[in-house]
Structure 1
């Protein structure tokens, strides 16, 4: 009987130590976008660019996630589950298809790079600058109409003689013809103008749609030089909104924060739309621990915010960069100003 009891206890202990397929999301560090990152100013501006003094802070927030190649025991997961500031989620939710730690980091860096570009565009446009788009060939499908004719990095200038200023305009222009008809795509390849004739082919799923077999990306002609010095210590797209606010604050007169310590999160697109992110509760907890007073949350995440521990934060709902700028200016004038809240 005693032996059986000892065996049961031993098996129970082993069970609690066996790895389980979950990861944790914990509050991560915050970084002031108006300050330094890894010993350098987070943003540096080109020679001759007029910038303005700022005060307060605009912190971007992070989440500390269990590494893809690490494992958690049942004890680890149980402890985390009992902490309201830690989320426990299935491993596949964060690392789909057995994604490796290296692949996860590469993906995160690609998202960060895209976020840096989008935040620069959105901030510059909000500050009154013109930032033209440039549609470029991102890739060519093997054995497609464009194979051997167009190349990655070709800048698309015209379609059938009509200038196209965006990726959407390229797609729209190509789709004005019927499958089997020829379109002439004018490109700039390393400074040389070329007109390339392509015989369109029917889409595999919808034969009424013409395809030429390219993927299109958008690049930009930036009117001034701005360097984002955030390195590979962080990844993902969720700092975009705070990046954009910092750039805008530096390029426009007057303090955007009025001295407040502001934190926030949110993916951003070039047109200034603020998109949802993961780990909103963990980011709020991290922001509060760092002393934030105001937290900017994407409108799409407000359902997660409601009912959560706000840690004393004033949580402001934002849908666009313009919203965030307006709300911060109002709060800078009056901390009790009426602004949209989650």
Structure 2
């Protein structure tokens, strides 16, 4: 009964504006605190899907008829004189996606602790800045990832040409560290390092590097390397161990062994061409566009029509022998593909279950009413074989 006394009600009414001010100040302070917390995390989100058709390009300086070597994917053996007309044609009142080989990406957004906690509670993936950047700034990290993308496109082009049975001339230019690791007993190589010299001798290919490694081991002398890292030249020195030399000679250094692995930056020439292939701007770094770049390039070389006017997305690394490797961010990439309207998604076999779960999560395609079809592959050859099947058998 005491609470209903008029004096108590008057006192409570007088306190309300004060409480509102206090709450407003607390919220304002929390907002300022949230904006000023260092952004030490990354949150992954679906990125973009883009046609891989322009990632590997013919040179334009030779003057030869490009159509004699390649064609636009999806145009061969087509009775339709305007193969792109379907881009603007509505099917079931829904706009059909443009045919193409879509490579997919994830987007990493900087986040502070509060944003990271929110993402942890929700569906997002959270990474520490150090786990992503490895202590680099973003500009240096992207420069390294762009170099890895270039290596991936070279391997994709070479693998596609082998699969198409077209001879290729490859001219090594330099040796690049593809995955970092300890090398010898005193120094470590990092992703994207370019090996300039070994024991004072210029290095342009793996054979030269391995020769100098073997010479240093045989002489029981330190190995001296000059590398370019983030625009700077560094002098590194260390001793070579027998077991490391054996592994490196097979170029199978890995995170498990703690050794670096290498690849060659090289120029690739088609038959009859005096200028090398060119590489398009991917808008992203890393090796995961390799599979889709290879399929797009193969389809332009082959006399069939592998694309068959479909919108096919996917992800996966690809080595020069045509083997597909796992990537990260599969769920986000499936979402990116779905947003682009793709109805098929190629994925490394080891990550197929993740992709299938993601496809169920994004739901049915607005136009077709069907879930995205996930195609698990282990090699470029297997991907081509499966895509040659009727859609109902995929």
Same fold (TM over 0.5): yes
1:258 aligned residue (290, 295, 308): 308
1:89 aligned residue: 127
Asked whether 1:59 is paired with 2:102, we answer yes
2:383 aligned residue: 324
Q: How much has 1:249 moved relative to structure 2?
A: 0.2
Query: What SS is found at the alignment partner of 1:104?
Result: helix
Asked whether 1:222 is paired with 2:272, we answer no
1:150-229 → structure 2 map (5 Å cutoff): 150-153=201-204, 167=206, 171=210, 179-180=218-219, 203-206=239-242, 218=264, 219=266, 222-224=269-271, 227-229=277-279
| Partner deviation per Cα, 1:206-236 (whole Å, 9 max, x = no partner) | 499699xxx9753365334564452263222
1:335 aligned residue: 391
User: Separation in 2 of the partners of 1:118 and 1:208?
Assistant: 25
User: Separation in 1 of the partners of 2:216 and 2:113?
Assistant: 59
Query: What SS is found at the alignment partner of 2:342?
Result: coil
Q: How much has 1:326 moved relative to structure 2?
A: 0.8
Structure 2 alignment gaps of length 5 or more: 1-14, 75-98, 176-194, 221-237, 249-260, 363-370
1:271-310 → structure 2 map (5 Å cutoff): 271-305=321-355, 307-310=357-360
Asked whether 1:117 is paired with 2:117, we answer no
| Partner deviation per Cα, 1:78-127 (whole Å, 9 max, x = no partner) | 5544653x422222221111x11210121121012111211111111111
Q: How much has 1:43 moved relative to structure 2?
A: 3.3
> Contact 1:21–1:91 (CA<8 Å) still a contact in 2?
yes
User: Separation in 2 of the partners of 1:31 and 1:228?
Assistant: 18
User: Separation in 2 of the partners of 1:268 and 1:127?
Assistant: 16
> Contact 1:136–1:217 (CA<8 Å) still a contact in 2?
no
| Partner deviation per Cα, 1:168-221 (whole Å, 9 max, x = no partner) | 79849986998239xxxxxxxxxxxxxxxxxxxx9544499699xxx9753365
Q: How much has 1:317 moved relative to structure 2?
A: 0.9
Aligned residue pairs, count: 286
> Contact 2:171–2:268 (CA<8 Å) still a contact in 1?
yes
User: CA distance change for structure 1 residues 230 and 79 in 2, over 3 Å: closer, same or farther?
Assistant: farther
Q: How much has 1:72 moved relative to structure 2?
A: 3.5
Q: Higher mean Cα deviation, 18-27 or 290-299?
A: 18-27
Q: How much has 1:328 moved relative to structure 2?
A: 0.9
1:101 aligned residue: 138
Asked whether 1:72 is paired with 2:112, we answer yes
Asked whether 1:43 is paired with 2:52, we answer no
Normalized per residue, which structure has more helix? 2
1:248 aligned residue: 298
Q: How much has 1:247 moved relative to structure 2?
A: 0.7
Q: How much has 1:325 moved relative to structure 2?
A: 0.8
- What RMSD in Å do the two structures reach over aligned CA positions? 3.9
> Contact 2:73–2:296 (CA<8 Å) still a contact in 1?
no
> Structure 1-normalised TM-score?
0.69
User: Separation in 2 of the partners of 1:178 and 1:16?
Assistant: 55
